[in-house]
Amino acid sequence: MTRTEKLKKNGNIFISNQITQSLNQKQTGKVFSNMWSNSSTYNRPSKTQLKRDLDEFKRQSNNLIQKFISDYFKKNKSKKEIKFLDVGCGHGYTFKILFSKYIPKIKYIGIDLHDRLESTYTSLYPTFAKYNKRPILVKASMNKIPNVPLLRNLDLAFAEGTMHHSESVASAIKEIRKTLKKNGLFIFWIINQQKPIRKITDSFFRNHFKEINPKNITNEVKEIARLSIAFGKALKNDRITLKSNINSLNIKAGKYRLQEILYDYIIKFYYHNSSNLTRSALQFYDWVKPSLYHQTSQYELKKQLKSNKFKIIHYVEKTNGHFVVCKKI
């Protein structure tokens, strides 16, 4: 006999009574639980960090993300409430950057599987309390979103850098579709297929750190981050013009920053002058430690969206990822 799906309230968190996780999901959840236990850099980001992160969202979307969000809320100004699903909400950091000023219009529901959702609630609550509102958090998998009224007939779903850490990108898209009303909007960013050398170095690091307890890799990850920062400072904003394609590296002719070549095509040594050592280390850790880490080509992604009856409104492909706005039809 099939159990009825329910959400049980535990403190500030709702927990699905039908959570099933593979070993890879459990490992990935532990990785992010450990990551958010070191979340001070996200709780109290500097102004330069916030600007850097917002600039990155702009770059991913060809400078359209803020305008698109603004236009959406203007278009729906007559609606009393926008039911909003934050898929893989993490610590709530990205939501606060992009959507804080729209909270008076938002009924916020965040879902994730990590074990520090109380910390997420603590991080989000002050932003909502200004408007006498509270965030709703649900411990559940995006690959099996509970079939309950709270998680159905929603207006807007948002998944920034999370679906590639799910059990399956295809099933995540299918489950997210179920939560949306007709013409409901889905905005997301997901990792692209990596370039040949970058794929090799990614694989090396992931295999190296695979069996190591997350708490025991802190020092090495920090030293890798220190090395990344040193490369970035040495390369500064130096550029190169490639006159013809380098087919073996899958690099097209054009103008590039050397830092961009290093990060996108060779090894994940990312640097920005706003990032401190802790933040740089967490970014590297986020990339190499989770077991679940899917790379999705443009062809496969568009195929999955079409099969789940999503109409693409806005699509940007960058070397390291895809930014998509689509609606349920």
Give me the residue spans of the domains in the chain: 7-193+295-328, 196-288
Query: Is residue 186 over pLDDT 80?
Result: yes
The tokens for 220 are 């090495």
The per-residue pLDDT for 1 is 44
Distance CA 252, CA 254 (A): 6
- pLDDT tens column, 36-75: 876 676 777 778 888 888 888 998 999 989 999 999 999 9
Instruction: Decide: pTM greater than 0.95.
Output: no
Matching CATH number, 7-193+295-328, of 3.30.300.30, 3.90.1150.10, 2.40.128.20, 3.40.50.150: 3.40.50.150
Provide φ and ψ at 28, rounded to 5°.
-65, -40
- Nearest-angstrom CA–CA distance, 250 and 239: 18
- pLDDT tier at 3, thresholds 50, 70, 90: low
* Whether pLDDT at 124 is above 60: yes
Confidence band, pLDDT 50/70/90 cuts, at residue 271: confident
What is the structure's pLDDT at 235? 94
Tokens matching residue 203: 């694989």
In whole angstroms, give the CA distance from residue 267 to residue 297.
Answer: 19
User: What's the pLDDT at 39?
Assistant: 64
Residue 67, Cβ density class (10 Å: 0-12 exposed, 13-18 middle, ≥19 buried): exposed
pLDDT at residue 6 is higher than 90: no
Is pLDDT at 288 greater than 50 in this prediction? yes
Q: Give the Cβ contact number of residue 208 at 10 Å.
A: 12
Q: Average pLDDT for residues 203-223, to the nearest whole number?
A: 84
Average of per-residue pLDDT across 100-127: 94
Phi-psi region of 181 (alpha: psi -120 to 50; beta: other; left: phi over 0): beta
What local confidence, expressed as pLDDT, does residue 110 receive? 97
| Lowest-confidence region among 46-55, 77-86, 92-101, 217-226 | 46-55
